[in-house]
Amino acid sequence: MRVARSLAPLVDLVFPPRCPLCGDAIGAQTGLCAACWSGLVIPGQPACISCGRPFGEAMPEGASCAPCLASPPRHDGIAAATLYNETSRKLVLALKHGNRIALAPFMADLIVPHLASTDRNWLIVPVPLHRWRLWRRGYNQAAELARHVAMRCQTRLAVDALVRRRATPSLGGLGKKARKRTLSGAIIVNPRWGSALKGADIVLVDDVLTSGATSDSCVSVLKKTGAKTVVVACFARVLDELVNGA
């Protein structure tokens, strides 16, 4: 760490800090310019007690949103750094498909404040990639985020606790039942982590939370293995009312 700090001025001289989204000059190698920062939407209060979905108006303390009332979630909360919009989308795509792994620390920094409480006994578990997709991409973006979340929370990383044993197609356009069928049996617990997961408090990390089908599948197998608590953490959360302009 001291070496990195001592070399920072030289790095800045050779590679002047630039905003990763628009390319404008910034003061440090991490972060965004002021204009791009303003484009991020940070979820706030009041919010659903079960999933953290922001309410558009004042609600009684401890209120649940309509989706959670209709179908109580198996997870123990959602910690989203941002709400999905054009700015967060660009960051996610840069990390996921643009080989911009250096964005992971910055994105993890935005996730951590939304985690209510973690200690050294918590396990940080990334949503897994199938081995063929991992081979093609070269890295799992969720694992990169999980690694930096674990470092900042000073807790344990279980990078291979979950295994995606079957490649699955995109879930876009599929209904709830079709998503569930597609993911059925695709994600399992790595046997070598089985005993460590029993009674464990877990943060499940992904880059984007869309329909929640993949995270639900992960939460389900973790809870069946005996996990006590599973909080879902993501950089960007898709809310239909925002995507549809409602």
Residue 172: predicted pLDDT: 60
Q: How many CB atoms lie within 10 A of CB 245?
A: 5
DSSP secondary structure string for all residues of 9-62: HHHHHHS--B-TTT--B-SSSSS--HHHHHH-B---SSB-TTT-PBPSS---TT
Pick the CATH number of 40-167+175-243 from 3.40.430.10, 1.10.8.870, 3.40.50.2020, 3.10.180.10: 3.40.50.2020
Identify which of 51, 50, 21 has the alpha carbon closest to the alpha carbon of residue 36. 21
Residue 3: predicted pLDDT: 39
Residue 13: predicted pLDDT: 39
Residue 94: predicted pLDDT: 92
Q: How many residues in total does the chain contain? A: 246
Identify which of 183, 157, 158 has the alpha carbon closest to the alpha carbon of residue 170. 183
Sketch the domain layout of the chain as residue ranges: 1-36, 40-167+175-243
C-alpha–C-alpha distance, residues 148 and 150, integer Å: 5
Q: How many CB atoms lie within 10 A of CB 116?
A: 10
Residue 198: predicted pLDDT: 95
Residues of the chain with pLDDT under 70: 1-15, 27, 29, 169-176, 241-246
Residue 185: predicted pLDDT: 79
Residue 8: predicted pLDDT: 44
Residue 184: predicted pLDDT: 78
Residue 17: predicted pLDDT: 80
Instruction: Tell me if residue 124 falls in helix, strand or coil.
Output: strand
Residue 4: predicted pLDDT: 43
C-alpha–C-alpha distance, residues 64 and 178, integer Å: 26
